[in-house]
Chains A and B, each alone.
Chain A
Amino acid sequence: EPEVTQTPSHQVTQMGQEVILRCVPISNHLYFYWYRQILGQKVEFLVSFYNNEISEKSEIFDDQFSVERPDGSNFTLKIRSTKLEDSAMYFCASSGTGKNQPQHFGDGTRLSIL
């Protein structure tokens, strides 16, 4: 069964540095998403992406964050000037068109900011 893959599984970065988290969505999906889960808290929506542009974003997704689909298979989340509070598990997801289509999640990237 096709799946969403994320790399790396764990990223350790110094505060103030930039990080790029990578995802390969399911190939025939058209909607892509990023969520994050701070340790001990619930999963939070960051951003959705459709037709090569952001379709929706939360208040968490400020100017520090950006997303890109650099080619036909990858979907990336860039975090500029990382802060300690950016430490979290970041999940990528993808889905077909329509709200009844389930979002399929990757195994996540654990981001640790030192």
Chain B
Amino acid sequence: AQSVTQLGSHVSVSEGALVLLRCNYSSSVPPYLFWYVQYPNQGLQLLLKYTSAATLVKGINGFEAEFKKSETSFHLTKPSAHMSDAAEYFCAVISGNSGYALNFGKGTSLLVTP
């Protein structure tokens, strides 16, 4: 069965610094991978998705992620953090040989300091 591991439950960066949120997946077949963001008291908003068209995926708000099959990783990055990026970030996977259920990681809380 597919699963997702997010390293680091909390990440703190300074405003303007690089954001790197890690996600590793396990799947026996090529997966579909997603990053979602959750702001306080809100639902999950899609940041970006990987569906095999391109390994480097650009999303909203300046975020991007690179699919690396050899490392089974799909890390999320942003060159320069803004205060408004402070939120909970979730990596999720759908296996290519299962149903449509999203399997989420435990989430990473991003704190941006002035």
Contacts and interface: CB of A to CB of B under 8 A. Distances in A.
**Is the contact region of chain A dominated by helix, strand, or loop, or is it mixed?**
strand
A78 interface: no
Interface residues of A, number: 26
Given A104-B46, A105-B45, A44 B99 contact: no
Interface stretch (A65-73, A79-87, A95-103): A95-103
B96 A91 contact: no
Nearest to B44: A105
A35 B102 contact: yes
B72 to A, nearest CB: 18
Chain B: interface size category? 20 to 34
A55 B100 contact: yes
Given A42-B105, A43-B90, A91-B44, A102 B34 contact: yes
A52 interface: no
Contacts of A99: 32, 51, 94, 96, 100
Contact of A45 (B46, B51, B102): B102
Contacts of B46: 102-104
A48 B44 contact: no
28 contacts: A4-B43, A6-B43, A33-B102, A41-B106, A42-B105, A42-B107, A43-B44, A43-B90, A43-B102, A43-B107, A45-B103, A48-B99, A48-B100, A48-B101, A56-B100, A56-B101, A93-B44, A99-B94, A99-B100, A100-B32, A100-B51, A102-B46, A103-B100, A105-B43, A105-B45, A106-B43, A107-B43, A108-B43
Interface of B: 32, 34, 36, 41-46, 49, 51, 90, 92, 94, 96, 99-107
